[in-house]
Structures are given as structure tokens and as C-alpha cells.
Amino acid sequence: MGRPTVSRRDFLTTMGLGTVALATPGWAQALGRLPATNSSQRPNIILIMADDMGFSDVGCYGGEIHTPNIDGLAAQGIRFTHFYNAARCCPTRAALLTGLYPHQAGMGGMVSRPGNPKPSGPYQGYLSDQCVTIAEVLHKAGYHTLMSGKWHVGESKPHWPLDRGFERYFGLINGAANYFDFTKAKAPGRKRVIAIDDQPYIPPKEGFYLTDAISEYAVNFLDDYGPQDQPFFLYVSYTAPHWPLHALPEDIEKYRGKYLQGWDVLRRERYERLIELGLLDNQWPLSERDPEVPPWRSIENQDEMALKMAVYAAQIDRMDQGIGRILATLRSLGKEQDTLVLFLSDNGGCHEDSPLGFDLRNNGLPPGGVDSFMSYGSSWANASNTPFRLFKHWVHEGGIATPLIARWPTVIKKRGHIDHQLGHVIDLMATCCDVAGARYPETYQNENVLPLEGQSLLPVFRGKQRQGHDDLCWEHEGNRAIRSGKWKLVSVENGKWELYDMEADRTELHDLAAQQPDRVAELTDRYLEWAKRCGV
């Protein structure tokens, strides 16, 4: 059954970045959606996610991109080295929001497009009624629930953010879009929708840049709800650095010429920094350049390819600037010490759709501007995912390994700590419930809710070892894997199982399947049990 929506139709928009006349404090309580409560003992939570950003792109994970605000979170908190996503945007978002595997939440594949529904079930393409979101759980527990950014787990009503527990929303309902001009669709019939709360919104063609707008609304929500006594949950879901390669000129200039040394040198430099930072075991060799990617020295259009990576870096740089504004606002509110801030990416760097990337406009324009529509290709994505193999969409480490940073000054005392415990995006619901003192429900809106799959990270924040998962599993478009302790069994679509000892070989270079058939058989059985249970 669908969920009721509290609509806010009294907002006003301007023609700038779209400031909103926010509701007066207490409007949600007046509507009966939230209990008025003194929640000073419960922390605020800000969950920030990048889109299609590789494991080694930001500075504190070995990258050369200027990310001082993200790096600052790491310096004051924890960096995780073995944290996993669900390999692609829609499945990861579903798992993050619900604490279930994507298939259990109805998002085993990609989102259903309006007018083209899929059969209901594990691949229906919108969130199931047998799951709840972090927003729904925390909302009921007395939290303000706010979101700015990409939704992508339901394109048709009643499957928008306000239908799933958020009080306030600004952002992109669907996937990749022009960062500057929403009238320029990716392709005919591929309309993109920006919404404010539960209403479509058409941004101005002048002065609009999507990354800045996402940051702007996050700051607006903090300004309005931060001073209140009730705690808040703010989910900031950037589209950056997902293609198209669109960035502001001043940000591109910072990186122009920086990548003329090419992806081979860049991968080696990042690999060495990862070891130096203590994020990578030096017994794990750097994986070979992807077999479909040519050596840099053979590329004829080196200037153009270097510029593509410069634009990609500029997109991450601008996102970091926005995160800086969010953190500064939090600090000005006096809420920095008692706010848990989490940062991660939804999947690895994106290979689409060739080593040199695509150019959907093919108009001779360079990457970066409003009339271009390009990707940076598997060549640079291979560098983004240093030191791992493969990319977004696959479930080898290059597709599913994500940076995760957690900062919570009143609880996380070991500043700059690097933690090697295993985790997964399904753990974020359990973590939010745990730190908020919220109960995960057995039923919601007269529907039975599937039991939580994730496990809280709070013990890790407190400097302890947690029990962790016996197994973690993945499936996306036929790519499949199971991680059990130090062992990982993984396969590409229609491929043979590969077996890796992740303590000795996290870069997945030495397949042990032929030498250990009994272990392959055991892990295969456990994977199949999980697949049957989750509706794969």
C-alpha cells in the first residue's frame, strides 16, 4: 500500500539558487507527524554521499584532488578501509536507506521509469512497502528528517522522499542530469525532475549549478531546523561526480594540465600514497591496468583526455566546497560536537561506456560546459578505483569498495583512526537507530517490515571490535559475490566463480578457485541460500 504524504504547498521560490520560504518551527508537530520532545541527549546525524566516486579520489584516501573539508572529517574521526556499497546507485541508495539488501527493498536492479512499471517484487524499481527508511524510523522517534540531493529509488508518486518519511526535500528525483540546464535532457524521452518537497521545480537556466543547489538547500535546512531543540537527520546525496562532466570554469582551471602525466602514472602515485597513509597493505600489489584500457603513451588526444579528468576533479572539488559550507553552518549552530557526520560513495568509478568515455552531444565542444555531455571513461575510472579491479556495476572490489568517514567528536575519541573492520551500507540504518535510540519496527503503516540485515557501527565509533557479519553478499545484473571472513567468492555475469584470500590479496589478482574446490562449493551454497532468501 502507498504511504500518506504531508504536502507543503506554501513554499515560495525565487529565480536564484531557489531559496525556499521554509515552514515555521513546529509545523510538523502541528500536523501530528512528530511528537514534541526534548531531545538534547540524542545526536544529530548528517549522512553525505557522493555519486560514482572511486575509492582513491579524495585526498585522505590517496587522491590528489583538493578536498580539505572531507579530509578534515577524516583527521577528526575514523576512516574505514573495508566498507562496501551495493555496486550501483539505485541498489546502494535502497540498502543505505532501509538497512536491507537491495532486492529485499525492491531495488535489486535499476529504478522503474514513469509509465514503464516493472512487476512488483525484488526488481520492481521503487522502495517496497515491506521496508522502512531511516527517515521513517527517525521521524517517528522525534527527529526532523531532511534531504537534499539525488533520490533515485522511486520516480513516480507515491514513492518520492516525502512519501518515505522526509519532512523536507530538495533535489533530483531520478538519475544523471545536466548540472546547469534541466531543459537539456540526456536523450529524447529521458526527462529529469527536480522537486522541492513534493512538487516539481524547474530551476533557472542562468546561475544554476546542481552541486551548489544541493549544498545550498542543505544549509537552508540546517539554518531552519538546526536551532530547534529536536535533533535532525540530514541526508545530503550529491550527484557529483557522476557524468556528465560539468563543472564551473574556475574549478576546472585548478586542474587544467594536472593530468597530462596520464592514468598509468596517476594509478602508481595513488597506490603509493594509499600505502603511506596506512590504508593499504603493502603486500597487495597494484592491479594491472584494465585490459581494455590502452597505455597513456599510446593516446593521441592526450590534452582532451587530461581535460576530462580535470573536469571530473573539479566536480569533486566543488562538492567538497559545499560540504565545507554545511560543516561551517553546523559549527555556527553550536551543534558540531554532538553531530555524527558520515561520508561515503555509492559505488566505484564509472567505466561507461568505453576507455575514452562517451560524447552524447558530439558537437566538438570540450567537456565541462552546459552544451557538452561526456563521461571520462574506463581509463580514468581505473585510476579512480586504485588499487582495485573493475568498476561500478561489477562486484569486484573496484565496484563495491567505498571510502567511509565518520566524525562524532563526543564519541569518536581516536582522531585520525583507520579501522579495518568489515562493513556495508546496510549497516547505516542500524547505526542511525542505535545512536538515536530509535526502535526499528516490526510493522509500519499496517505492513509487516522485513527484519533488519545491517549491524550498528556504534561499537566501532567507541573504539571497540564489533561482532560483524558472518557473510556479506551481492548481486547486480548477474554479477555476484559473497564475502565470508577473509574469503571472497566473486563472478562476473555468466562467468566462473573466482576465489580470493582478501587478507593476502585484496586486489584480487590470485584466483584460488581451482586449488580450493571444497571452499568454493561451501561458499556457493551459502550464496545461493542468501539469493533465495532475498529474491535474487
pLDDT digits (tens, 9 = 90+) for 130-162: 999 999 999 999 999 999 999 999 999 999 999
Structure confidence by residue, pLDDT tens digits, 448-479:
999 999 999 999 999 999 989 999 999 999 99
For residues 486 and 504, what is the distance between their CA atoms, to the nearest angstrom?
9
Please say whether the beta carbons of 161 and 169 come within 8 A.
yes
**What's the DSSP call for residue 34?**
S
Structure confidence by residue, pLDDT tens digits, 191-209:
789 999 999 999 998 999 9
Alpha helices for 25-67 (secondary structure H): 27-30
pLDDT-derived band at 113, boundaries 50, 70, 90? confident
User: Using N-to-C axis directions, what is the helix angle for 377-384 and 302-332, rounded to 10°?
Assistant: 50
pLDDT at 416 over 90: yes
Tell me if 27-467 shares its fold with 470-536.
no
pLDDT-derived band at 182, boundaries 50, 70, 90? confident
- pLDDT in the model for residue 205: 86
CB atoms within 10 A of CB 495: 11
Checking DSSP bridges between strand 78-84 and strand 417-424, what pairing results, if any?
parallel
pLDDT at 30 over 70: no
Residues found in the chain: 536
Checking DSSP bridges between strand 339-345 and strand 479-484, what pairing results, if any?
unpaired
C-alpha grid cell, residue 403:
571510502
- pLDDT in the model for residue 118: 83
pLDDT-derived band at 35, boundaries 50, 70, 90? very low
Cell numbers 555556527: residue: 332
Catalytic residue among 152, 242, 424, 469: 152
Average pLDDT, integer, range 280-297:
97
Structure confidence by residue, pLDDT tens digits, 304-332:
999 999 999 999 999 999 999 999 999 99
For residues 165 and 154, what is the distance between their CA atoms, to the nearest angstrom?
14
Catalytic residue among 60, 89, 433, 473: 89
- Nearest residue to 488 via CA among 474, 467, 478: 474
Structure confidence by residue, pLDDT tens digits, 296-311:
999 999 999 999 999 9
The CATH number that domain 470-536 falls under is: 3.30.1120.10
How is the chain split into domains, by residue range? 27-467, 470-536
Percent of the chain scored above 70 by pLDDT?
91
pLDDT-derived band at 186, boundaries 50, 70, 90? low
Mean residue pLDDT across the chain: 91
Catalytic status, residue 82: no
- pLDDT in the model for residue 321: 98
- pLDDT in the model for residue 185: 67
- pLDDT in the model for residue 192: 85
C-alpha grid cell, residue 84:
562496501
Which of 175-179, 405-409, 423-427 is least confident?
A: 175-179
The CATH number that domain 27-467 falls under is: 3.40.720.10
Catalytic status, residue 350: no
Please say whether the beta carbons of 242 and 346 come within 8 A.
no
Model confidence, pTM: 0.92
Please say whether the beta carbons of 90 and 109 come within 8 A.
yes
pLDDT-derived band at 375, boundaries 50, 70, 90? very high
- Nearest residue to 141 via CA among 150, 132, 149: 132
Instruction: Report how far apart, in Å, the C-alpha atoms of 8 and of each of 24, 159, 169, 174 are.
Output: 12, 16, 10, 21
C-alpha grid cell, residue 184:
537539456
- pLDDT in the model for residue 334: 96
pLDDT at 438 over 60: yes
